[in-house]
Structures are given as C-alpha cells and as structure tokens.
Amino acid sequence: MSGGDNLEFEIRPNPAPVSDAERNTLLANPGFGRIFTDHMVTIRYADGKGWYEPRVEARAPIPMDPASAVLHYAQEIFEGLKAYTLPDGGIAMFRPDANANRFAQSAQRMAMPQLPGETFLQSLREIITIDRDWLPPGDEGSLYLRPFAYASEVFLGVRPSMEYLYLVIASPVGPYFSGGVKPVSVWVTPDYTRAAPGGTGAAKCGGNYAAGLSAQAEAIENGCDQVVYLDAVERKYIDELGGMNVVFVLDDGTLVTPPLTGTILPGITRDSIIKLAERDGRKVEERPVSLEEWRSGATSGRIREAFACGTAAVITPIGAVKSADGEFVVADGGTGSVTTSLRKQLVDIQRGRASDPFGWVHRVL
C-alpha cells in the first residue's frame, strides 16, 4: 500500500448505530464539533511494515497506553474539511486533494510518515459513504471531517515514534453563524506569538493550538472574540488568527494577505479566495501588512474591509481591532460588500449551486 494504490478497507459496520429518531433529533441542532457519526476510519503504521489494517469501524474510544509518545511529546497532526449535500441529493467534498497534500507536508515537518494521498482521499470517501445519513438536512449544514494521526509507540525516549495511528472521525455541523454572518472583534496580543521562522507555524498540528489557548483567553478577557498574532521577529506584521488566515480589502478592490513564509498556515480557504478574486479581475498582493498600516488604513479609508477565513466559518468579517495601544473599527464595524460577495461565490461553489471552474468539488455519492 505504500505505492498509493487503492487500499481494501475492511468494513465493520457499527452493530448498534444511533436510531433514525435520535439521529434526526441530533441533526436538528448540531452546533459545532459536539456530535459524531456512527463510524470512524483507522489505519495503523509501523516502521518496516508501512501503513496496514485500514478499517471502517464503529466509532469508539481508543485504548491508549500512558506512555504513548503523543501524550508526552505531542507528535500529532490533523486536517479539517467539509462534505456538503448537492442540489441533486448527492454528496461532495471541497478540495480534499489540497488537504491530502497539506497533511503530507504537516507529517514531514513533524517527522511522521506520510500517508499516500490516494489513501487519505479514500478514507474520506469511506466514512462519508457509510455515514451518509448524518449530513444535516437543508442547505446550510455540512459534515465536518477530521482526519488526524498521532505517535502511538509506547516509549518515552525523545525521537520520532516508530508507530502511528491515523483516524478519521466525522461531525455534522450546523451553520457557523446562526442568524447570519456577523463581524468579530479581534485582540492583537502583545504577549504571545504563534509561530517563529523555522518553527511549526505552517504545519497543522495540535501543538500550535495548545500554545494559542492562553492568547485566546487573553482576547476574551479583553472583550474580543478572537486573537490575532503579530510576527515573532519584529512584532509588527499581522500573521493570522489562531485558526484562520487574514485578508484585507483596499479601496480600489485589491486584496492583500500576508505571504506564506512558513509562519502562517497555508489555508485552503485563503487559496480559494485568492483564485476567485483573481478570476474576478482583482489584484491580489501577498505581502506583509503591519498593524500600523491596518490602523492608519482603516482610519483613512484605504483599507475598506478585513476578514478572516478558514473551513469552519468560511469567511468571517473583522469589525473591530483592539490592541494594547487602543481600538479601531474596520468598515464601520459591519460586513463589507467584497467580503459578502467572495463568501457567496465560495459557498455557492462548495454547495454545487454555482459552476466549478477550478475543479474543486469532488463528488463522492
């Protein structure tokens, strides 16, 4: 299976799935990341043996030895993407090949073995197929897919683990913003940075999130919804939020977003927005933006809109920015027209309501 050939997954259906009635109750108001489907995918890895025992089985706790390497040294990576119901009742994933590539990049950074991209994609198709009844009804919800892998070797020495477990779990999710998209406020943390050059900022690993929790708590204490990080070297330039990339819209319609220099996570939503904007004939600049440029631009009107983007919320307008030196408002604190238009274009492609010129929509069923 190391060649990336199609694997034969062993399917072991859950002998006690959630009843139709209970599932429908859960799906009426799924929230985010609270409820889970009946199954999970597991694939094991051992040095010398490669990836083995690909399975679809009942979702259940995983027995774990207290000396499992991940519990001590955090060798772990994950992905996040969504499957949507199409207008004809079919089901599709959005750009799962990009998630497969990023998962491989994250694995490389964390000294983990790379799962072949075709196996990653097949694992997603397997769980969607067996748990297809878990897609929320209506045209706002989706099935959030969470592939991840961790060091499972029982060993306390500090070196890459020789054993790993890859899993996929799935969680039905409702609209991120119940009651419509609303702008968030962000706190520019003066105390914490997210990622330094040479660090793990471009890898999607749990450790980055653990390190960000204190900063997020600081944002809440300061009355803001989300934390935004400055670069670790000069403490001047906007990097990203804890789990979303940042994009600015100038008064001439140009999009500006921080460049991928290794300290920010290469978001697939970010990349999709760049491609959509360029198709619209907009100029897109990938360059550093300082907090000072943001502040003076928001005040002068040069920076008209700002938004955060990522799979969970797609596009979230940024209304207010608070830092140790004071507070300012972007675009009157509301949602700008470019933000609204890009969001609609992207969501319509994801849900199969608009044509898909880039081949982003991968039909599963």
In contact, 60 and 41? CB cutoff 8 Å: no
Q: Nearest distance from residue 314's CB to ligand PLP, in Å?
A: 9
Nearer to ligand PLP, 185 or 316 (CB): 316
Between 17 and 96, CB nearer to ligand PLP? 96
Residue closer to ligand PLP by CB (options 130, 219) is 219
| Residues 205/74, Cβ–Cβ less than 8 Å | yes
Residue closer to ligand PLP by CB (options 68, 257) is 257
Which stretches within the chain are classed as H helix? 20-28, 69-73, 96-109, 117-130, 206-221, 268-279, 291-300, 337-350
Residue among 161 and 263 whose Cβ is closer to ligand PLP? 263
Nearest approach, Cβ of 311 to ligand PLP (angstroms)?
3
Closest contact distance (angstroms) between CB of 14 and ligand PLP is 28
Q: HSE on the CB side for 322, CA within 13 Å?
A: 14
Task: Name which of 165 and 314 has its Cβ closer to ligand PLP.
Answer: 314
Listed in sequence order, the residues at least 6 apart from 332 whose beta carbon sits closer than 8 Å to its beta carbon are none
- Report how far residue 134's alpha carbon sits from residue 127's, in angstroms, rounded to the nearest whole number: 10
Q: Write down the residue that tokens 């204190």 correspond to.
A: 214
Provide the minimum distance between the beta carbon of 320 and ligand PLP in the complex, in angstroms, as a whole number: 21
3-state secondary structure of 293: helix
CB of 269 to ligand PLP, least distance (A): 3
CB of 265 to ligand PLP, least distance (A): 3
Residue placing its CB nearer to ligand PLP in the complex, 39 or 82: 82
Q: Facing residues of 93 across strands?
A: 83, 362
Residue 245 DSSP SS3: strand
Direct distance between the N- and C-terminal alpha carbons of the chain, in angstroms, rounded to an integer:
25
Residue type (1 letter), 34: R
Kindly tell me which of 136 and 258 has the beta carbon lying closer to ligand PLP: 258
The region, left, alpha or beta by phi > 0 then psi within -120 to 50, assigned to residue 364 is: alpha
Nearest Cα to Cα of residue 27 among 177, 176, 173, 179: 173
CB of 200 to ligand PLP, least distance (A): 10
Core vs surface per residue 197-233: b (16+ CB within 10 A) or e: eebbbbbbbbbbeebbeebbebbeebebbbbbbbbbe
Taking the complex as a whole, the smallest distance from the CB of residue 359 to ligand PLP amounts, in Å, to: 17
Closest approach of ligand PLP to the CB of residue 85, in Å? 20
Q: Which is nearer to ligand PLP, 311 or 339 (CB)?
A: 311
Tokens representing residue 280 in the block: 């619209």
Residues that bind ligand PLP (CB under 6 A): 80, 204, 240, 243-245, 265, 267-270, 310-311
- Collapse the DSSP code of 62 into the 3-class scheme (helix H, G, I; strand E, B; otherwise coil) and give the result: coil
Query: What minimum distance in Å lies between the beta carbon of 80 and ligand PLP?
Result: 6
Task: Measure Cα distances from 122 to 56, 105, 196, 345 in Å.
Answer: 11, 18, 34, 28
